[in-house]
Amino acid sequence: MVNDKNASLYHIDFSFDEQRLGGSAFAQSLGKVGDDVPTVKNAEYFADAFMAIQQMIEKGWILAGHDISAGGLITTLLEMCFANQKGGMHINLHDICKDGDIVKALFAENPGVVIEVSDEHKQEFKDFMEEQGVGFAKIGYPVENSRTIEVVYPSQASHASHVSETSTASFDIDALRDTWYKTSYLLDRKQSFNGKAAERFANYKKQPIEMQFNKDFTGKLAQYGISADRREKTGVKAAIIREKGTNGEREMAYCLYLAGFDVKDVMMTDLISGRETLEDINMIVFCGGFSNSDVLGSAKGWAGAFLFNPKAKEALDKFYARKDTLSLGICNGCQLMVELGLTGAKGAKMLHNDSHKFESEFISLSIPQNNSVMFGSLSGNKLGLWVAHGEGKFSLPEAESAYNVIAKYNYAGYPANPNGSDYNVAGICSEDGRHLCMMPHLERAVFPWQNAWYPADRRQDEVTPWIEAFVNARKWVEAHK
């Protein structure tokens, strides 16, 4: 939900049916199931309502929205508030609770949505919905200085006596957010080690995603002189190096292509057999994934494929001996680069996450002042991206100043630091700035729509600042060829 006092909340019912509690989470919480379940009475109406929502999204009228599913309307409203640390709602259910049955109104799971629309588009919204033949009801508005949802509804006594009477229910958003999250915490206790479940529960609402961009960042491809329509070769060559179990190579290849590289796919068998020597390649990338299914440990088998195959080792050694090359390792590729010592980081190792489980989440990184080809110009930024790994903990035995740190997790505590890395390090680079490795996946966050959260005032961005890292690499190669 957007905390905008000049906006309204609307309920749109997709079911065209009476509110029913059979099969609902509410019924199950009482040890019941029930047989009177909500249905979709008119499939054509359902489709029209769905398409109306899609068109309003395209028009940019919808500030926020949430489907009505498990838990019913009250869960929908609460979850819309859970995403914020400030603000509440005032809800009036007189238009959708005409029989005075507040339990059905709040907990029935008839398919539908709640959307937030700016009052600027209020009349356009109403005209459009009437034109589409889709019913709607205004049910409330955001309240900026509150952390409650105040629900006003007609009392059942008023229906019996035909006298207008109202009742009010108040829901504490923060207290119910803890209740809502507690189930996840109880399950997490059975999966996480080292008290990490309790730490996650303590921190889950204290580590909001933060983003901070360079002031000159426009979000447009033209800023970097690149285009998705490029079809001609540039002569700046990059290679994706893959092993059995690698994934993410296509996203990475597209990022490189978009930034201006000609991209080549290289399997380890190509290097082992000598079919590929990397002699004409300017940049190599080791992608994320689970090489050899992590049977020997993350990237251990992949590292062995280089160390114990003479032609592959020779190709790699010659590549890193050149002064006109760059390399990037992401996730499994980061583990490989650390295992092979390709960044020169003193005593660096990759260990199991402190939670001893696979961590997959959207987090934010801070980019410190650093000396690297790819990230140097992003110093001072805070950017969002994804992590997905089980052995992502940087073990760095020397002082932090001994390492060229190019990215740090935005908060010290778990789960924002998902693995317990020393100094909250998410990525490091060689001293000369050319060979960089990091656990999070920047290639999965180069477009705003790939981000789990992105600043609302930058909806028109074509790309995120992560593309700059790839453009920096291409420009460096052009200058050093």
Catalytic positions, written as ranges: 331, 441, 443
Whether the Cβ atoms of residue 367 and residue 217 lie closer than 8 Å to each other: no
> What tokens were used for 114?
């709640």
Whether the Cβ atoms of residue 264 and residue 237 lie closer than 8 Å to each other: yes
Say which amino acid occupies 150.
E
Q: How far apart are alpha carbons 426 and 139 in whole angstroms?
A: 45
Say which amino acid occupies 59.
K
CA end-to-end span of the chain: 51
> What tokens were used for 261?
């590289």
Q: Rounded to the nearest 5°, which phi and psi values hold at 264?
A: -120, 140
C-alpha distances in angstroms, 260 versus 34, 59, 253, 256? Answer: 60, 33, 11, 6
Burial bucket for residue 55 (CB in 10 Å: 0-12, 13-18, 19+)? exposed
Q: How far apart are alpha carbons 261 and 61 in whole angstroms?
A: 38
Of residues 478, 479, 370, the one with CA closest to residue 425: 370
Whether the Cβ atoms of residue 237 and residue 282 lie closer than 8 Å to each other: yes
Q: How far apart are alpha carbons 378 and 214 in whole angstroms?
A: 7
What is the CB-side half-sphere exposure of residue 126 using CA atoms within 13 A? 8
Q: Are strands 137-143 and 88-92 parallel, antiparallel or unpaired?
A: antiparallel
